[in-house]
Amino acid sequence: MSFSATEAAFEGFRVTRQNPLSVLVWAGLWLVGLIVAVMILGPMTMPYASEIEAAQGDVAALSPSAVSALSLGMLAVLPVLLVLQAILAPAVYRAVYAPQAKRIGYLQLGKVELRTLAVVAVLGVLSIVLNLGGEAAVTFSKQVGGVPAAFVVNAAVFVFTTWISVRLMLAAPLVLRRKGLPFRDSWRMTAKVFWPVLGVFFLSLAMTLLVLLLLVLVGWPLYAALTMGGGMAAIPGLLLLLLMGLGMALVSVLMWAPFASIVQQLDTRA
């Protein structure tokens, strides 16, 4: 089995170009999700707002209570993000598999979305387990063998985590084309195309980062106007929020569509 990595990597741009209204619908859903997330996270972290701002992203500079509040807040927001992904990911995959059946942003609510939610949740738990296990292994190796041993173990953990991630990377887009939870199908399909799939991931990531850079350049003046305050601060704040929703939608399409394209190509050529 083989596929065109270039065709797959640029699938997100094709979907965006051919379905601008659908992208706006997805942006609207992301916007609603972000507002809900802020409503959940805000009250939990508000008492530590000045401390978090002063830390400037350095978690080590935060007090234990602030770290605890942030952790609990992220756990509370996680279900919202999982549900959003379970709804939007199948819509993006449908735009790849059946572009003619547009409906309203290719959105549906049914068994496919429930199975996608299950797949996303399992992958999320697996990711947490791998990260925690890797950190524990690195810490133990450093205590036993020092920095050189920790470096070797850290490299081994990175390779193993990457291998597992790539082998299961097609599970979500396969939900629309297989029954049940298609982890085995993803494992089987990626057996002989590991490196091309990994290459598509990095190509998609690079293009997504370029798009994000453009959005940051657009949003920076809005952020500057917002921080200046004044009576007109609400306008740049609203525009910045809309831009964030659009950015999340574009990131979703650019990172999800390529793997649906891989599945489609492999199924066609099987």
Confidence band (pLDDT; 50, 70, 90) for 263? very high
Q: CB under 8 Å to 267, separation ≥6 — which residues?
A: 177
CA dihedral sign, ordered 46, 51, 57, 60: negative
Q: Does the pLDDT of residue 129 top 80, yes or no?
A: yes
Helix residue ranges, H only, the chain: 5-9, 11-18, 20-45, 49-55, 64-97, 111-167, 171-174, 183-189, 194-228, 234-269
Residue 33: other Cβ atoms inside 10 A: 20
| Confidence grade of residue 66 (pLDDT, cut at 50, 70, 90) | confident
Is pLDDT at 173 greater than 90 in this prediction?
yes
pLDDT of residue 92: 96
The 10s digit of each residue's pLDDT in 73-84 is: 888 888 899 999
In this structure, which amino acid lies at residue 135? E
* C-alpha to C-alpha distance for 185 and 182, rounded to whole angstroms: 5
Pick the most confident of 32-36, 109-113, 139-143, 265-269: 109-113
Burial class (CB in 10 A: 0-12, 13-18, 19+), 26: buried
CA distance 89 to 251: 11
Residue 158 pLDDT level (bands cut at 50, 70, 90): very high
**Does the structure show a pLDDT above 80 at 148?**
yes
- Distance (Å, whole) CA 223 – CA 239: 9
pLDDT more than 90, % of the chain: 56
Give the angle 261-264-268 at the CA atoms, nearest 5°: 140
**Which whole-number Å values give the CA distances from 194 to 154, 165, 166, 177, 262, in the listed order?**
21, 10, 7, 20, 12
Packed helices 11-18 and 20-45: angle between N→C axes, nearest 10 degrees? 110
pLDDT at 234 over 70: no
User: Where is average pLDDT lowest: 55-59, 162-166, 197-201, 242-246?
Assistant: 55-59
| CA–CA dist 80, 37 (Å, integer) | 7
Query: DSSP assignment, residue 175?
Result: T
104: pLDDT confidence band, cut at 50, 70 and 90?
confident
